[in-house]
Amino acid sequence: MIAGGDQRSIGALGPAYGSVASSAVIWGSIGLIVRLVHMSAIAITFYRVLIGAVSILFLLFIRGRLGQLRPGSRRNLARLALMSGLYTVNWVLYFYAVWLTTVGNAALAYYTAPAFMALFGALFLNESLDRRTLLYVAAAFAGLYVLLDPSRLGHARIDGILAAAGAGVAYAAAVITAKPLRNTFSPWSVAAYQTRGATLLLAPFFLIVGGSWSPRTVDWAPLLALGLVHTTVAFWLFFRGLKHIPAKRVGFVMYLDPLVAVALSAVLLGEPLTLSTLLGGSLIVGAGLLALKEPTAPTPAPDRNQFR
């Protein structure tokens, strides 16, 4: 039985959990929105980060916080540039994966990222990697192997799952790269660098290909949704809730992301929920959730300065 004071405390946290859950649901629908855009993965990424960068910079401007964007040192600037590059690879690969395989499989394969974070943290940040954590990492990779069942998948779908896993690797590397920056820059400042840096990296491709990256009229609505809703609004919701919820609990809520992706792809796109999808996905999500329960394990929740 919960005491009245605890009930009030839990009730007060309701809006915070609702905000984080809403951001997870929004991010879980990214694959469906990408499917609505008749453009290449790299072009979709360019417009998403361009729109996101403009909106985030505008928010910083009206709040008088543009001064927070000063890098402070060449080392910080180099780290921010590397982070932006890794995030660019992450987004391009994930959007490419959505075109090659099912939205659900892409989302589940992408969520092997926490396993890669644990490995990278041990390799580059001297973080502990105990036996239990290794078991969870192995379970996540086993889930990826099940998803890659060649007996039921064509080469394109296998390539899509591998691309999504590659996006997870890039995401994990970006988080590890940005981790030393989290005490220097606010989350919004890092988001501004992520989107602005990705825009600058992709701009030369836009100038080279020219008109082939011009969105059609029907493409603008989903592109604006990706840039404004799935970037700026989802990011605001996530950090609005994160202020009041322990990071580990946020990690549990964020696993709504792949579950929503699987459910929406099945209901709205008619994508099949195969046994290998259910089994592989259960291994990946279960491994992440169990790792979150371990007090000594690297927490696979999204870093406070990152967004999908």
3-class SS of residue 15: helix
pLDDT tens, per residue, the chain with 308 residues = 333 343 444 455 678 889 989 999 999 999 999 999 999 999 999 999 999 999 999 999 998 888 888 888 889 999 999 999 999 999 999 999 999 999 999 999 999 998 998 888 888 888 777 888 889 899 999 999 998 876 665 555 889 999 999 999 999 999 889 888 878 888 899 999 999 999 999 999 888 876 667 889 999 999 999 999 999 999 999 888 877 887 667 888 889 999 999 999 999 999 888 888 899 999 999 998 887 776 544 445 556 566 67
State whether the Cα torsion 240-246-250-251 is positive or negative.
Answer: positive
Q: Provide the greatest CA pair distance for the chain.
A: 65
CB 169 within 8 A of CB 140: no
DSSP string spanning 115-167?
HHHHHHHHHHS-----HHHHHHHHHHHHHHHHHT-TTT--HHHHHHHHHHHHH
CB 287 within 8 A of CB 115: yes
Q: Each residue of 11-67: pLDDT tens digit? A: 556 788 899 899 999 999 999 999 999 999 999 999 999 999 999 999 999 988 888
For residue 226, what pLDDT is reported? 97
For residue 178, what pLDDT is reported? 87
For residue 294, what pLDDT is reported? 62
For residue 304, what pLDDT is reported? 56
For residue 248, what pLDDT is reported? 67
Alpha-carbon span 291 to 57, nearest angstrom: 35
For residue 118, what pLDDT is reported? 86
Judging by beta carbons within 10 Å of its beta carbon (0-12, 13-18, 19+), is residue 128 exposed, middle or buried?
Answer: exposed
For residue 90, what pLDDT is reported? 97
